[in-house]
Structure 1
Amino acid sequence: MTDNNTQEDQSIKRPTPKWVSVLEMISSRLNRIAAGISAILLVLMVGLILVEIVLRFFSLSTFMTDVLVGHGVAAITFLAAAWALEEGSMIRISAVTQVLRGRVRWATEAFCIVSVEILIVWLMYFEWRTVGKLWARGSTTEHYLPIPLWIPAAIFLVGLALLGLQILVRGARLISHGYDENSLLKL
């Protein structure tokens, strides 16, 4: 047990390779921009809901609040997911990995990272095709204000890409440091 702890202590002291630092910086900046957009969308959604409440006092409506808020909730969820993972705020079940040590822990972490990355790339492939179809067909919502359906689909695709990049950062940290912890993911 002492030998494993010594290996872990040494792996923490390794300098971060330049390519990992660059990847972290790019991912972190993109995640912060997406989280900022999510925050702005949240404020706009709250404002729209308040306007709708006031309008209903006068028997009026925007007729679009439900659609816009629905798309907004999806957008903020997917745009902020990578930032939440980067900040360690994403739910992670670590009951198994906490008791593992050394190479077994590394292999478990690597398996999880590779599996999630494969799943994200697979989802991105199908979402890319969906965005292309919606763009080519010119599909829109059937509401008062027709919104091109490729826009919400593209936001989902961007969110998946950011999440995939953040998972790639986790993998790079795992490779460069020997094991992975949330504290190692922050710049």
Structure 2
Amino acid sequence: MTAWIPLLSRRLNQLAGGLAMVLIIYITGHILLEIGLRLAGLSTYVLDEFVGYGVATMTFLGLGYCLERGSLIRVKLLVDKLPSRWHWLPELLTTLVALFTFSTLAWIWGKNVWRSYQRGTTSDTLAETPLWLPEGMVWLGMVLLCLTLLAHALTLFTHTDDKQGAR
């Protein structure tokens, strides 16, 4: 019944991971362009701002992708002391705590994004970037991470019954 959640999470994380990779290329290109322009005494005047937005977006969009692939740092000091059939329990508990924490952060951050949109808040730079755009991308990354954590928790919970029945 909930098998579609991990599939949706996986597909959205692939898309977000692809976007994060494109942002790496953009950041590299913008830095190289700025170097070339500065050699000629010119500048885009937005390097710091746009690269900062790109790094924040890339970081948060990549979190779910990394979690899904087991690329985030995990400390298994306590888990390794448990019998292998119980390894799922602390992982489920930490996943649920992380889901609660990031859901709360995403809720608060989402309200901030909405406020920036409603007020038309812009950056204090030459570009006057509407702040809801980079803030919204960070929020999207948080939501994708929450979806990935939910999918992981559901997978742990549903596969636990299979593991218990096999023993």
TM-score (norm 1): 0.81
Are 2:79 and 2:87, in contact at CA under 8 Å, matched by a contact in 1? Answer: yes
1:110 counterpart letter in structure 2: L
Query: Which structure 2 residue ranges, 5 or more long, are not aligned?
Result: 162-167
Whole-angstrom distance in 2 between the partners of 1:52 and 1:109? 45
For residues 1-187 of structure 1, the aligned pairs below 5 Å read 19-20=2-3, 22-101=4-83, 104-178=86-160
Q: How many residues align?
A: 161
| Shift of residue 114, structure 1, vs aligned partner | 1.3
Name whichever of 168-177 and 65-74 sits farther off: 168-177
SS at match of 2:77: coil
1:146 counterpart letter in structure 2: E
Query: Which structure 1 residue ranges, 5 or more long, are not aligned?
Result: 1-17, 180-187
1:74 counterpart letter in structure 2: A
1:128 counterpart letter in structure 2: G
1:117 counterpart letter in structure 2: L
Runs of 4+ with >6 A deviation: none
Which residue of 1 is the match for residue 165 of structure 2?
none
Whole-angstrom distance in 1 between the partners of 2:128 and 2:115? 17
Whole-angstrom distance in 1 between the partners of 2:94 and 2:15? 27
| Shift of residue 110, structure 1, vs aligned partner | 2.4
TM-score (norm 2): 0.91
| Shift of residue 103, structure 1, vs aligned partner | 6.8
Whole-angstrom distance in 1 between the partners of 2:47 and 2:15? 25
| Shift of residue 101, structure 1, vs aligned partner | 2.2
